[in-house]
Every structure is written in C-alpha cells, then in structure tokens.
Chains A and B, each alone.
Chain A
Amino acid sequence: MSTTDALQESYQRYLNQLFDAKLLIPSGVKGVYGRSGTFENVIDQFEQYVTRQTRDMKPEVVRFPPVFNRQHYAQTDHIYNFPDLMGSVHSFMGREPEHAELLHKFQCCGDWAHDLDATEVMLAPAACYPLYPSATGTLPEGGRLVDLKSFVFRHEPSDDPARMQSFRMREFVRLGTPEQALAHRDFWLENAQRILKSIGLDVQPVVANDPFFGRGGRQMKATQRDQHLKFELVIPICSEEKPTAITSCNYHLDHFGSVFKINSADGAVAHTACMGFGLERICLALFKHHGLNISQWPESVRKLLDLS
C-alpha cells in the first residue's frame, strides 16, 4: 500500500470511529460536520481552561461574526496568496423576471448559481482578519492584546477529519511595536505548549509555512520559513509521519499595520502577531490520544478540563 493510500485509510478509519461514536455528524460534504454535545462540551471546557490561564493578562474580548467586509478582504493579500481557500458569499439580487429565470435554471439545468451576485461580505479565513480594519488609528501605550474566537472557512475538502472546511479558532492577537509583537509570539509558543502538554497533548514546535497558492506561492513559503514567521505545534492525530498542527503562532511584521493604517503609540507602523488554537483539532487530538470515551480519560486531564 502506498503512503498516500495508508494515510487515506487512516483518515477514513478515524472519521468513521467519530461518526460511530456520534461525536461528529456527517453532512454529505467532506470537512463539514455537525458536532455532538459531548464534542462541544470538550471545546467549551478547553476554552474556559484557556480563559482561566489568560485572565491575568486582561485581554480585550472581542467577537466578530464569521463574515466580514468584502472591501476589507480586498485590502489584504488573501486573493493573491490563497485564492483556492476563499469563501465568497453570493445572493440573488434580481427582480421578478430574473427570479423566474433563476427558478427555470434551478428546476431544469442546475447551473443557477451563476445568476447570483457577490454580497458585501466574505467568509473570514481566520478569526483575526476582521480585527485589523477595526484597529485603524493609533494604539495605546503598550499596544493591544485581543482575545478572539470565530468560525472560519477554508475551502479544502478532505477526508482528514482534522481538515475541516468550517471550524473554530480561538486567537490572542497583539498589536503594537515590533518588540511587543515578537514577545507575544515567543511567549505563546511556550505558553501554548505548556497548556497543551498539561492536558496530555505532547506537541512539538516546528517552523511552518502557510499553503500559498501556485508557482509564485513557492517563493512566499520559502520567505515565510526563511524569516521564521510561522511556528506550529504539531501532534500525530491520524499519522505519526504527518503530524497535525493544532495551534499556530504567527508574526505578521507590519503587514496588517501598513494595510490598515495602524500605528503604535510612538507613531511608527504597528506590527502584529497572532496565536490561534484550532479548537476542533485540539478536541480531535484529545479523543485520539485519550480515547473516545471521556470517562476513561486520565483523571488529571478530566480535572483540568472540568469533565466529570
């Protein structure tokens, strides 16, 4: 059996176990699943554990919906770098005659989606994307530390249960000076490992790159790795050889600061860094490593996550 086939079989096996245990509910679309109350409770409890661990830092809590301003999307580089992952929201904007035409196509030919028009919004590719355009202006002394959470969308259908198209990200973002942004990234690289290891997830930090698109994307990947801008905490879920990133820590330099005109208190263009917990992936790693039955998880993990 080839490595790819073995990996596919491993994905399918774990996915079927999750369906059989009724932790995930299939939808007919790869990477789009319902979650059971048990699954959700693990995510809730992990989040509350993170909240307890970060209370002393007094982050500003901000929640955005999973859609954001199309004009703000256009100001980022996303369309250059990740066109294949984007989610654009379209709707019907015609009148009655066009509606009749739409229904005709809907009933007979199936190509009705071509008659829709782009709305004012895009699906958020990361929880922090809507934050930066809202931060235009001058930051307070010491910068800002923001706690975010949102469903995000990435169009990458896969049999890997850990590669969902729609999933939640809990993020902590620092906006400030280069020193503040880097310190945030470095702090979280350690702190996230400590948090994850405390619940039995023996993650390893690795230098990583985003999946930049196409021939030009090779150059972006190399630059990102060269400059050590992205670290991931990985752990085997379906494969020992190809471990899964369940958390990432990223330094954006002045990218968002310059695009959205965010300045630090000293007047210079702000630098930003974000860390993100992939909540579903963490949950899937917990079920993989401790078993599908929570009552049999290690006592210490159940205690930390308040799972009685």
Chain B
Amino acid sequence: MIAEKIRAILAQHARLTTDINTLSDASDLYDAGLTSLTTVNLMLAIEDQFDIEFPDHMLGRKTFGSIQALCEAVEELVG
C-alpha cells in the first residue's frame, strides 16, 4: 500500500527519465534520473502524503535511493 502511494508520488514529482512501471522496488532511483532537486520535491510530497517529517539523519541518498528504502523509512516514521 505504501509502495503504491510512493510509486504514484514518484510518477508525479520525481521527473524520472525511466518509466516508473519498469522499475522494481529495489531499482536505483538516482540511476533512473532522480536528481538532488527532484529529491526535494519527492521528500516534500512524501511528507505531505503521509503527514510525517523526515529527521535530518534520514535525508541522505540512502533513504531516497529506492522505493524499498523509502517504504522502510515511511513505515518507521508512521510508526
């Protein structure tokens, strides 16, 4: 469920150069065209959608590097 929502957010905000439907949950989003600037859009959209706030230590590329990593971060923050 979280993964589906994250995929929808990615499709809308991440301006990926690769079709989101061809990516697995483990695919590298930066290889798929995510940039530092579009990561900001992605972060803000995820925070709004799930009503969470990423703490500073979770703002690195590790968290935003794949759908799977994003799901794990959101699950942790939603509690």
Residues of A within 8 A of B (CB): 77, 80, 215-224, 226-227
Contacts and interface: CB of A to CB of B under 8 A. Distances in A.
A222 B43 CA distance: 12
Contacts of A217: 40
A221 B59 CA distance: 9
Given A223-B36, A223-B39, A215 B60 contact: no
24 contacts: A77-B37, A80-B37, A80-B40, A215-B44, A215-B47, A216-B40, A217-B40, A218-B54, A218-B56, A218-B59, A219-B36, A219-B39, A219-B40, A219-B43, A219-B59, A220-B36, A221-B59, A222-B56, A222-B59, A222-B60, A223-B39, A223-B59, A223-B61, A226-B61
Contacts of A216: 40-41, 43-44
A217 to B, nearest CB: 8
Given A77-B37, A219-B59, A223-B60, 9 more contacts: A80-B37, A80-B40, A215-B47, A216-B41, A217-B40, A219-B39, A220-B36, A223-B61, A224-B36
Contacts, number: 35
Contacts of B59: 218-219, 221-223
B49 to A, nearest CB: 14
Interface of B: 36-37, 39-41, 43-44, 47, 54, 56, 59-61
Contacts of B56: 218, 222
Contacts of B40: 80, 216-217, 219-220
A224 B41 CA distance: 16
Nearest to A77: B37
A217 B43 CA distance: 10
Contacts of B61: 223, 226-227
A39 to B, nearest CB: 38
A258 to B, nearest CB: 10
A220 B37 CA distance: 7
Contacts of A219: 36, 39-40, 43, 54, 59
